[in-house]
Amino acid sequence: MGDEEELLKPLARSSVIFPMTKSRNTPEPRLAWAYVREGADRNPLSPTPQEGLLAARTIEVDGTFERHRLYPVSAWADRPPRQRPPSYCPICLEPVTLKLGAKLRHHYAHASTSTCRAATPEGALHLDAKLRLAGAFAGGGSYLTLRRICNRAPQDRSGTRCGSEPAQTVEVEWDAVEVEYALPSLRADLILLRQGTPVLAIEVFATHEVDDAKAEKYRSLGVPWLEVSGRHLLQSDTEWHRELPVPVLADSGRQPVRWRCQRHQGLWDAHLHHQANGVHTLCWRTVHIYRTDGGIDASRFRIDVVLLRMMERREGGDPVEAWLQRDEREDPLTRPLAVASRADARERLHRQFVRWVSWNRRTRGATIDSPMQWVDGVPPVTSERTPLHPQRYRVHRRSGCFVAPPGLPRLAWPLPLFERRSPHPIFGDAPISWGEPSTGDQPNLYQAIAPPCWVVLTPHEWLAPGRYHARADFTIWWHDGVRWRELTHAGFSHGWEMPIDHPTPHWEAIVRQVAEAAATNADRIARRKVELADLVVPILPA
């Protein structure tokens, strides 16, 4: 089930069906509804939302507020691309591009940089399935035809199809449908109402099933519920409509709530036995270990990405032993501890983790970075090397150690948890610039960050008879979303001379402007399509 904001208003009477072109392959999830300005000219044969039928939103466009409605994108399939109206995603309200070709389902696409959850296949599947059901059930009814499908088992990777139970008719009377309906303690994907009273909640399964906590909330409210498979609803060989049985994964009115075929029921029983006994991952976290021998040779610097797990051994469902484990090693990182509960295991193993971090800092001189909480369950594949946990430190050539932007300790992983207006876990409140005073025979350093670039300026100044001479050495680092990379081809030096009475350069202002110029052209610089020197020289004093 998704947790979209309450962007969709109540649905009432309608029989809107998702328009779709046929394809040889099973169609992928596609976003088929978008906000379009009210009154926009459209195909008169397309489904037309009636007053109060679909959600309406006021959206700011070029400084003015305009009323928009949710329409099927196929309403403009007969128009050339340039004659189609501006459209907006119903979840993030960002401008989107209508894709109305002849080969794929009609849909819209987000910009490549969008972080909207509806831009993912799972988000698109969840949103479209809800709207498909809402359109089919709007107008009321007195019964539903359901077909329970197999819930399979976690350890089954065969991909083979299994059977389903015969279709069953369930009597339930309703006169209205609402999407994202707020109940006292939760929000339902879809709700069927009779005279304003909820009679049945429908949850759409895309990635997360109805858990025990949510099922208990429905039970306490006295509202029966169904969990419907979005994949079977939208990606089956036969396009679903109101006359076909609803593919149901879970039904609170039947026992067992989740049905499995004979083969998968046996696998499920074995899974439950394994969960209650044996060795399991309690939780995990990613740790970055930055190590150096103190030299300035790049080969001496090493960054280890470590995935640590809290492991537990269970007997009869209760933990009896727990220890820390590194993913790439067979032997435990710490000795197994006898534990009385999972809370006891977490507390004692976290203390061992803190001691392990201190040991690495004390004996190896390493910088340890793991700005996150322990995450329950099994980590996703290669989770330690994804942009969820980007490297936040880079090599400092002068000191021979790793450094991070100022203010970094207050910023944490993982990256997707951050809202757009909050500080970035790598760059903080960028752009930022600062000076670093000289040490011994080393000159001053001036640094600036403008995402995704970090520029280091080393100025050299000297006087000759009647003239002021200066040389600026620039080093640029670029963050690719996972780690800092030095763009050795982009570094350069530039020298000039001026009258001795001329004001000396304001180095911090210069490095800030250089960083901003580099950030604007970061991709072109990384691909060697443009030289940083060509952008920077106009900024430097004549």
2, pLDDT greater than 70: no
Mark which of 246, 276, 306 sits at the end of a domain: 276
159-173 pLDDT tens trace = 677 877 888 899 999
pTM for the model: 0.58
Candidates 479, 421, 469; CA nearest to 449 is: 479
**Do 265 and 304 sit in the same domain of this protein?**
no
**CA dist., res. 18 & res. 402, Å (int):** 55
Residue 312: band (very low, low, confident or very high) from pLDDT cuts 50, 70, 90 = very high
Structural domain includes residue 388? no
372-406 pLDDT tens trace = 889 888 887 766 566 778 888 888 877 778 888 87
**Do 219 and 303 sit in the same domain of this protein?**
no
What's the pLDDT at 91?
78
486-522 pLDDT tens trace = 887 767 788 777 777 777 788 888 888 888 888 888 8
* 280, two tokens: 């399991």
Q: Terminus-to-terminus CA distance in the chain, angstroms?
A: 61
Structural domain includes residue 450? yes
Sign of the CA dihedral running 513, 515, 517, 519: negative
**Do 291 and 159 sit in the same domain of this protein?**
no
Structural domain includes residue 418? no
Candidates 442, 533, 535, 530; CA nearest to 493 is: 533
**CA dist., res. 191 & res. 176, Å (int):** 8
Number of helices (H) and strands (E) in the chain: give both, helices first.
Answer: 8, 27
DSSP string, 180-221: EEEPSS-EEEEEEEETTEEEEEEEEESS----HHHHHHHHHH
Mark which of 276, 305, 321 sits at the end of a domain: 276
Mark which of 220, 243, 276 sits at the end of a domain: 276
**CA dist., res. 467 & res. 449, Å (int):** 32
**Do 262 and 302 sit in the same domain of this protein?**
no
Q: The domain containing residue 356 runs over which residues?
A: 278-383
**Mean pLDDT of all residues in the chain?**
80
Instruction: Say how far residue 159 (Cα) sits from the centre of its chain.
Output: 27
